[in-house]
Amino acid sequence: MNVYGTKQIRNVVLLGHGGAGKTTAAEALALVTGVTKRMGKVTDGNTISDYDKEEIKRQFSISTSLIPLEYNGEDGPIKINLLDTPGYFDFVGEVEEAISVADAAIIVVNCKAGIEVGTEKAWELCEQYGLPRLIFVTNMDDDHASFRELIIKLEKRFGRKIAPFQVPIRENEKFVGFVNVVKMKGRRFTNLSDYEECEIPEYTKKNLGIVRDALIEAVAETSEEYMERYFSGEEFTQQEISTALREHVIDGSIVPVLMGSGVNAQVSAICCRPLTSISRHRTNTSAWVWTFPPASALWPSITTT
């Protein structure tokens, strides 16, 4: 067994409404990081985190479970202690206990179901404890799931710190990949969480440009030097963009929205990488809050009414 120091450990709590897909996402992460060789299902009663007899019988989480994941981050190997929490209010004490020891949170939202009561409660708890967070939109493989509509609802409910870092790629109404807005590259899934680089579809470029411009402006706001370079028309390097966005995510002024499918295990590359750079010893250093353009401006074809 590998031995990790405190700087190599991240405690990450999975939050969201009951039935949103937290346990399935945790199961998928365990599969693609090598913790298990097969992916269990809640309906089959063979998932790692829902092992209690009552959980198997009722098919939902009752207590918080810990799943240790090992992941090779940019600065070397790290250990992620993934805390899969219950989604129903009857067990909110379990959720608060998990949040009290967490360094960061993943709020799981079912794209088809949208914002639910558990989603709002998860956000409130993250605000209360000052937790950096990202929103993972699952169930993207559902033909009736609309990422655009969900983004507008998230922005309307939680404010303009909501920031889509990805734009979905669909072919024949099927979710086949995404565009990485930070790196401006298309990603097409090949097997589980693995993907290959692909062309960015023409139909995404207009909205992609708006989201990209907002990200670059956020980078410029991190320092006077960057602001001067931004107004002079100078391009930022990829490293400068990543470092600046990392600071905003850590202080909570930006909440990335990422996407995937827990059932198809399209999660590892999406969820693990941002978590590797979150400091274990967080501080509330934000002096201001960056706001993205309204979601209706990002996707004008969708209205908020």
pLDDT in tens, 42-52: 877 878 877 77
pLDDT-based confidence at residue 284 (cuts at 50, 70, 90): very low
In this predicted structure, what is the pLDDT of residue 302?
38
pLDDT-based confidence at residue 290 (cuts at 50, 70, 90): very low
pLDDT in tens, 196-250: 999 999 988 887 887 888 778 878 877 889 889 989 989 899 888 888 888 888 8
Is the confidence at residue 273, as pLDDT, over 60?
A: no
Rounded-to-integer distance, Cα 202 and Cα 114, Å: 27
In the chain, where the domains are located: 7-298
Is the confidence at residue 69, as pLDDT, over 60?
A: yes
In this predicted structure, what is the pLDDT of residue 268?
47
CATH assignment of 7-298, among 3.10.20.30, 3.40.50.10470, 3.30.70.100, 3.40.50.300: 3.40.50.300
pLDDT-based confidence at residue 114 (cuts at 50, 70, 90): very high
Averaged pLDDT, 87-105 = 84
In this predicted structure, what is the pLDDT of residue 1?
61
pLDDT in tens, 21-61: 888 888 888 888 888 888 878 877 878 877 777 777 777 77
In this predicted structure, what is the pLDDT of residue 276?
54
Is the confidence at residue 106, as pLDDT, over 70?
A: yes
In this predicted structure, what is the pLDDT of residue 277?
56
Is the confidence at residue 89, as pLDDT, over 60?
A: yes
Lowest mean pLDDT among 16-20, 153-157, 217-221: 217-221
Look at residues 275, 263, 273, 269 and name the one whose alpha carbon lies nearest to residue 187.
Answer: 269
Rounded-to-integer distance, Cα 293 and Cα 260, Å: 24
In this predicted structure, what is the pLDDT of residue 280?
43
In this predicted structure, what is the pLDDT of residue 11?
92
Mean pLDDT (the chain) is 80
Percent of the chain past pLDDT 70, that is, above it, reads: 84
pLDDT-based confidence at residue 137 (cuts at 50, 70, 90): very high
In this predicted structure, what is the pLDDT of residue 278?
57
Percent of the chain past pLDDT 90, that is, above it, reads: 22
pLDDT-based confidence at residue 303 (cuts at 50, 70, 90): very low
Give the max Cα distance, the chain.
63
Does residue 103 contact residue 78 with C-beta atoms inside 8 Å? no
pLDDT in tens, 157-185: 998 788 888 888 888 878 888 999 888 99
